Amino acid sequence: MTVSLSILDLVPVPEGTPASAAVRASVDLARLGESLGFARYWISEHHGMPVIASSAPELLLTRIGALTERIRIGSGGIMLPNHVPMRVAENFRTLEALYPGRVDLGIGRAPGSNVKASRALRSAPGEKFGEMFNEMLSLARGELPRTHPFSGVAVMPDDVDLPPIWILGSSGASATAAGRAGMGYGFASHFSPMPAAPPMQAYREAFEPSAAFPRPHAILCASVVCAETDEEAERLAATVDLMSLRISRGEFPPLPSPQAALDYPYDEHERILVAENRERHIVGGPDKVKARLERMLAETGADELMVVCNLYEPEARFDTYRRLARLFA
């Protein structure tokens, strides 16, 4: 099976590594992705978490765009409740002006942060997402009614359109809306306990063609650890297990090493939680990983596979992408 491959980068911070180094490593990953023929490189938005340094995707994208030539760059996604809608429109029009035809605007409704960080960001309530999204589009398109207080406000630069917009989801609630709006859709199976097939089907059934998307395009995002052998992948994935457990408890220290994770004294309840979470990650050698990913792609009918890989060892992380490029060439 051949499939379009892409990268989702959370900019993970390994224990003992400065967060600034993790930010700089994101450039290396984007350039590697381009050399391997990956279609897109997206950056997530998270705040207040020492384990993840992707707090300013728009800034990182300006650097990555300058150091790459072909790979599409974008947000996976901008968490709209954290932003003033006009600023999102301005930022991504500016990116589109700098790198025409290469930018994607992925939008999400979650804050991507813990409670305190959300308060520090002055995040809007989740139910405001629809209102904020419509305001962003209407401002960018100059479609606000004359009676609106923002009517006539120019979103600069005004000679470029917003990049293609992708609605990102983890529960299926936004799938139909994305289809009706003629936008792209991405499902976050890397952390969602829900199956991806139903929302992807709902997206396609609701889809109405648009200028940006004449056909539906659904991205399946998966967490993958692919090593030379199943045993080595299991060792590396110990980092993911402990990271996930800590996040579930509201703890966000940097990524532990595989050995530190293997030495962690899990109690019985924690082992159950780790086993349940592992179902959301694809871990193994090339044959095992390919078989499971092909099954997921067949079940969902996804048009594209976007991979996130959060490992302690940078080269092991990069090797996962190298192996996937060979598996799905």
Q: Which token pair is 5?
A: 């491959």
The pTM is what? Answer: 0.96
For the chain, strand residue ranges (E) read 4-9, 40-43, 72-79, 103-108, 165-169, 184-188, 218-226, 281-284, 304-308
The amino acid sitting at 123 is S
Domain ranges of the chain: 4-327
Phi–psi pair at 177, nearest 5 degrees = -60, -40
Radius of gyration of the chain (CA): 19
CA 169, 174, 180, 183: dihedral to nearest 10 degrees?
-20
What are the pLDDT digits (tens) for 244-303? 999 999 999 999 999 999 999 999 999 999 999 999 999 999 999 999 999 999 999 999
Pick the CATH number of 4-327 from 3.90.45.10, 3.30.70.360, 3.20.20.30, 3.40.640.10: 3.20.20.30
How far apart CA 209 and CA 161 sit, in angstroms, is 17
- The residues near 142 (Cβ < 8 Å, ≥ 6 apart) are none
Q: Are 307 and 8 in contact (CB under 8 A)?
A: yes
Q: For 148-198, write each residue's pLDDT tens digit.
A: 999 999 999 999 999 999 999 988 889 999 999 999 999 999 989 899 999
